Structure 1
Amino acid sequence: MYKGKRTLFYNGEILVDLMIDEDDGRDDERYLIYDQNERQSWEVIIVLPGVEEIPSDTFFGCENVKTVIMADTVRRIEWRAFAGCERLVFVRLSLTLEFIASSAFQECYSLVSIFIPPSCEEIRDYAFGGCQKLIIFNVPHHTQLGENVIARTALLKVTSFKTNEWGEYFENTEEVNQWIKNINQGEDYELHRACSSFNPLVEAIYGIVKQRGLCSFQKKNQIGLTALDYLVANPYVEKEIDQKLLMKRYVMEMMGEAV
């Protein structure tokens, strides 16, 4: 149990045997350790230290999982590893993660935000396709993105990029991928970047607020999100950064300067 929720502490075991039917080419899964009822009981997945890879289909279709927390030893997430986790809302990825395979988080309908660590070199096709509520997709500039990584997401819907009838953007892949990486670029969004970093520091955030004023917390970027939206969603905030305390500190200092 983790915070009173049914939890799997994952140690890297192979949980699923994926077999391909030679007659029709369709895949079939065989559960090796936990049956379907047990898999559907999990609400939290905690990946233990030492695990370096989440194999294909490991948590595919675990519909009641809401939280995934990875130790910082995980380097690869393979094909459909978390696909179909329909109630998944919180993911903390490993800070040494290098690779996210195709469809790894496809159709995680409840996922609103994902923060890709600087270590990640590649995210392949449809990795987050069909994540209907996904609006925060924080990704480093150097990370190579495949095709349709954010197809059929809330993030794609706020753009003017053309899609086909299935919500795919094959013809605009390069433009979409560049747009994703530049959402919070520019001087006006310095606070957004600080709040979505992988080591959000109170002093760094306060320094920007002091320079730009309290209104900087409520300034919206091109997709309608504030710096505070990123800060609240950021899974790498080690301790809560209290906006009210920052505001109080700002006001007190301004009053002191006025005196």
Structure 2
Amino acid sequence: MRKRNLLFFLAVMLSVFPSLARDFQDEYKGQTLTYTVLDEDAKTVKTKDGEHHWAGCKVSGNLIIPNVVSDGADTYTVIKIGSYSFTANEDLTSVVIEGPGIETIEDNAFSRCSNLTSITLPEGLTQLGSGVFQGCTSLESVTLPDSLTELGEYAFFGCTSLKSVTIPEGLTQLGSSVFQGCTSLESITLPEGLTSLRYTFMGCTSLKSVTLPDSLTTLFGTFSGCTSLESITIPEGLTQLGSSVFQGCTSLKSLTLPESLTAIGKNAFQGCTALESIIIPDRVEGIEGYAFQGCTSLKSVKMPSYEVVRFFVGDFAFEGCTSLTSIDFSNVRESFIGISAFEGCTSLGSVKFSEGLNDYLFDDYVEIRGRAFYNCNRIKTLTLPNVDLGESAFEGCTSLNTVKMRAIFSIESRVFAGCPNLNYIYYDSGVREPISGNKDIFDEVTYEDATLFVKEEDVEKCKLIMPWKKFKTIAAYKFSNGVDEIEASLDPDAPYEIFTLDGVKIADSTDNLPAGIYIIRQGNAVKKIAVN
């Protein structure tokens, strides 16, 4: 009974899947291939998956794959080249795929055919699968048909002899790492319609010329290790430079970032030793870690040109940029500087941060994390707004002479250690009490020789609090709260806001405003004024 049921089940399965495991062979121009039937009714087949690569295979030399084959009784149209059909076949030297008919070449169909020098692809082909020519180290040139719309990931990965590729205008999908490791590829033009490139040309050490489409919005690792790339035009509309996009491009000298850009990813320009300057577009909200690490020729970095609320610089972002001379965050209300962000920038002489009015008006603030400016031995003067200071933030700044600080929210050890020329410290605690901290925040020579200037009411307080009490000289100082003391008549036609000296907004105009001293903000300008 059980045997009868099994036979019945097999009969049903064969009726439902009549083409299941049905293969046949066909000889064409001296080469015999095995085909798998896809649809008996439609009479379609593909070359059998993984069939033609083992030792003793008769497929060798110049292979022509027809678009019509026969099993001896019927003819079938070849619509696919099966996955791994010819993988690792070292005897193949050239392949011609006849068309029309073949629509897809599946994953790894010709991967590691190390002696394959040429491939002719038919019109009508729409898809090349993942790794389809991966490791074809003798392949020198490829012309992709106009009908192609999708090129799978790793399609030409490691094709070290590939010098030229013609990509059709209709291509809309380009997988990651398509040309990664194509060390002989010198130039390429990409069609409109592509929006993202991921590791596409990574390790293409001969690549010198690339034309990118205006449709691009994101790049990730795209040109990492392209050591011959000297310049490139990035289209307007690009919003994200992802991680490692130009990492190790040691010949890249200049680059204009589009105004549409909002993000610069981790390691984006790491090790670009020839890069001399960069302008950060106004919409960029921050620079991720290691983005410009080791850019030893980088002299100038221009930060956003208009007032922004927040901006961050990630860990090690500019570490080792030994030619960088200045950095300006004065248009940023809140800055966040990561661990070792500028460590070892030995030419850095000027660092500017936004200077606010007081602790609760406009709230200018910077967080400077550990070793952020470690061994920046050209900095002489430093002015900080409200601040959090991480361990060893300015340690080793041997030229530092003057530090001006407003409210300190937190301060860790050795912030100003190794600064033997630090002679003047101005500490305006604002409405806060002076903060306490470790005795090793400053060196003993600083406590002995430098003068600490604080508000008159803080002099006695600082004599009781570590580390301030270690200063031999503490002097009272009248701080101006970061504004200019001038007399001025206002332009009644210009918009402005008026505050009391305590930071309370009281008006948007001078109508019925009594004579006196006020704080006015007009555009980006902040002044202390006398109204007559």
Residues 56/163 of structure 1: CA separation in 2 closer, same or farther (3 Å cut): same
Q: Using the alignment, how far apart are the partners of 2:266 and 2:158 within structure 1?
A: 19
TM, length-normalised to structure 1: 0.52
Q: Using the alignment, how far apart are the partners of 2:63 and 2:83 within structure 1?
A: 12
Is 1:162 aligned to 2:252, yes or no?
A: no
Is 1:9 aligned to 2:64, yes or no?
A: yes
Identity rate, percent = 19
Is 1:56 aligned to 2:107, yes or no?
A: yes
The Cα of 1:145 is off from its aligned counterpart by 3.9
- Deviations 1:92-148, CA, capped at 9 Å, x for gaps: 211110011110110000001111100100211100000001112121132334211
Q: Kindly provide the amino acid, as one letter, of the partner of residue 174 in structure 2.
A: I
Residues 78/126 of structure 1: CA separation in 2 closer, same or farther (3 Å cut): same
Higher alpha-carbon Rg:
2
Residues 143/76 of structure 1: CA separation in 2 closer, same or farther (3 Å cut): same
- Deviations 1:226-248, CA, capped at 9 Å, x for gaps: xxxxxxxxxxxxxxxxxxxxxxx
Q: Using the alignment, how far apart are the partners of 2:144 and 2:267 within structure 1?
A: 30
Q: Using the alignment, how far apart are the partners of 1:51 and 1:101 within structure 2?
A: 16
User: Which secondary structure state, in structure 2, belongs to the residue aligned with residue 146 of structure 1?
Assistant: strand
Give the structure with the higher percent strand. Answer: 2
Give the structure with the higher percent helix. Answer: 1
User: Which secondary structure state, in structure 1, belongs to the residue aligned with residue 198 of structure 2?
Assistant: coil
Q: Indicate conservation of the 8 Å contact 2:87/2:109, yes or no.
A: no
Is 1:88 aligned to 2:139, yes or no?
A: yes
Q: Which residue of 1 aligns with 2:412?
A: none
Q: Using the alignment, how far apart are the partners of 2:115 and 2:202 within structure 1?
A: 23
Higher relative contact order (CA 8 A, sep 6+): 1
Q: Indicate conservation of the 8 Å contact 1:129/1:151, yes or no.
A: yes
Q: Kindly provide the amino acid, as one letter, of the partner of residue 143 in structure 1.
A: L
Q: Using the alignment, how far apart are the partners of 1:171 and 1:51 within structure 2?
A: 42
Equivalences for 1:167-178 in 2 at 5 Å? Answer: 172=268
User: Which secondary structure state, in structure 2, belongs to the residue aligned with residue 157 of structure 1?
Assistant: coil
Q: 1:133 aligns with which of 163, 184, 190?
A: 184
Q: Using the alignment, how far apart are the partners of 1:130 and 1:88 within structure 2?
A: 13
Equivalences for 1:207-222 in 2 at 5 Å? Answer: none
User: Which secondary structure state, in structure 2, belongs to the residue aligned with residue 133 of structure 1?
Assistant: coil
TM, length-normalised to structure 2: 0.26
Q: Which runs of 5+ in 1 are unaligned?
A: 17-31, 174-259
User: Which secondary structure state, in structure 2, belongs to the residue aligned with residue 119 of structure 1?
Assistant: coil
User: Which secondary structure state, in structure 2, belongs to the residue aligned with residue 109 of structure 1?
Assistant: coil
The Cα of 1:170 is off from its aligned counterpart by 7.3
Equivalences for 1:84-233 in 2 at 5 Å? Answer: 84-153=135-204, 154-155=206-207, 156-159=226-229, 162-163=246-247, 172=268
Q: Which runs of 5+ in 2 are unaligned?
A: 1-28, 30-59, 66-77, 208-225, 231-244, 250-264, 270-532
Q: Indicate conservation of the 8 Å contact 2:87/2:111, yes or no.
A: no
User: Which secondary structure state, in structure 2, belongs to the residue aligned with residue 74 of structure 1?
Assistant: coil
Q: Kindly provide the amino acid, as one letter, of the partner of residue 7 in structure 1.
A: N
The Cα of 1:163 is off from its aligned counterpart by 1.3
Q: Using the alignment, how far apart are the partners of 1:15 and 1:147 within structure 2?
A: 24
RMSD between superposed Cα atoms in Å: 2.7
User: Which secondary structure state, in structure 1, belongs to the residue aligned with residue 92 of structure 2?
Assistant: coil
The Cα of 1:172 is off from its aligned counterpart by 4.6
Residues 79/35 of structure 1: CA separation in 2 closer, same or farther (3 Å cut): closer
Is 1:47 aligned to 2:94, yes or no?
A: no
